[in-house]
Amino acid sequence: MHIAAKRVFRLSLTVALSLAVAYGSAQTMPFMAPLFAFILGAAPRPPMGPKGLLGLLLALCVMLSSGLLLIPMLLHYPVTALLVALCGLFFANYVTLHLGKPQVGVLLTIGVTLISAMGLMGYGIAVLLIKAMCINIAVAVLCQWLVYPLFPEEGPTPAPPPPPRPLQSSWLALRATLIVFPSYLLVLSNPAMYAPIIMKSVALGQQVSETDVRSAGRELLGSTLMAALLAIIMWYCLKLLPNLWMFFLWTLAFSVFIVARVYGVAKTRYSPGFWSNVLITLLIFIGPAVGDTESGKDPYKASAVRLGLFVGVTLYAWLTLVFLDWLRERQESRQQALPGAETE
Q: How confident is the model at residue 153 (pLDDT cuts 50, 70, 90)?
A: confident
Report pLDDT for 237.
92
Intra-chain end-to-end CA distance of the chain, in Å: 56
pLDDT classification of 193: cutoffs 50, 70, 90 = confident
Q: What is the mean pLDDT of residues 204-212?
A: 62
CA Rg, the chain, in Å? 20
Higher pLDDT, residue 255 or 206: 255
Q: For residues 94 and 156, which has the higher predicted lDDT (pLDDT)?
A: 94
pLDDT reading at 172 higher than 70: yes
pLDDT at 167: 53
Please name the residues in contact with 148: beta carbons below 8 A apart, sequence gap of 6 or more: 10, 46, 47
Could you tell me which of 202, 182, 166, 180 has the C-alpha nearest to residue 94? Answer: 166
Helix/strand/coil (H/E/C) assignment for every residue in the chain: CCHHHHHHHHHHHHHHHHHHHHHHCCCCCCCHHHHHHHHHHCCCCCCCCHHHHHHHHHHHHHHHHHHHHHHHHHHHCHHHHHHHHHHHHHHHHHHHHHCCCHHHHHHHHHHHHHHHHHHCCCHHHHHHHHHHHHHHHHHHHHHHHHHHHHCCCCCCCCCCCCCCCHHHHHHHHHHHHHHHHHHHHHHHHCHHHHCHHHHHHHHHHHHHCCCCCCCHHHHHHHHHHHHHHHHHHHHHHHHHCCCHHHHHHHHHHHHHHHHHHHCCCCCCCCCHHHHHHHHHHHHHHHHHHHHHHHHCCCHHHHHHHHHHHHHHHHHHHHHHHHHHHHHHHHHHHHHHHCCCCCCC
Which range is least confidently modeled, 32-36, 46-50, 103-107?
103-107
Give the pLDDT band (50/70/90) at residue 19.
very high
The pTM assigned to this predicted structure is: 0.83
Express each pLDDT in 89-107 by its tens digit: 888 887 777 666 777 777 7
- For 263-291, the pLDDT digits (tens) are 988 888 888 888 988 999 899 889 888 88
The predicted structure's pLDDT at residue 287: 86
How many other C-beta atoms lie within 10 A of the C-beta of residue 54?
12
Residue 125 predicted with pLDDT over 60: yes
Percent of the chain with pLDDT strictly greater than 70: 88
Q: How far apart are CA 309 and CA 183, in angstroms?
A: 10
At residue 206, the pLDDT reads 67
Distance CA 158, CA 93 (A): 23
C-beta contacts of 151-157 below 8 A and 24+ residues apart: 151/1, 151/6, 151/7, 151/9, 151/10, 151/13, 152/6, 152/46, 153/3, 153/6, 153/7, 153/44, 153/45, 153/46, 154/3, 154/6, 155/3, 157/44, 157/45
Lowest mean pLDDT among 21-30, 36-45, 325-334: 325-334
Instruction: Look at residue 343 in the predicted model and tell me its pLDDT.
Output: 47
pLDDT reading at 158 higher than 50:
yes
Average pLDDT over residues 211-216: 61
Q: How distant is the alpha carbon of residue 305 from its chain centre?
A: 20
Residue 344 has pLDDT above 50, yes or no: no
Q: Which range has the top average pLDDT, 63-67, 222-226, 250-254, 300-304? A: 250-254
Does residue 317 carry a pLDDT above 50? yes
User: In terms of pLDDT, which residue wins out, 117 or 218?
Assistant: 117
Label residue 327 by pLDDT band (50, 70, 90): confident
Give the pLDDT score at 261.
Answer: 92
**Phi, psi of 109, rounded to the nearest 5 degrees:** -65, -45
Q: Among candidates 200, 181, 183, 179, which has minimal Cα distance to 191? A: 183
- pLDDT band for 214, please (50, 70, 90 cuts): low
Q: Average pLDDT of the chain?
A: 82
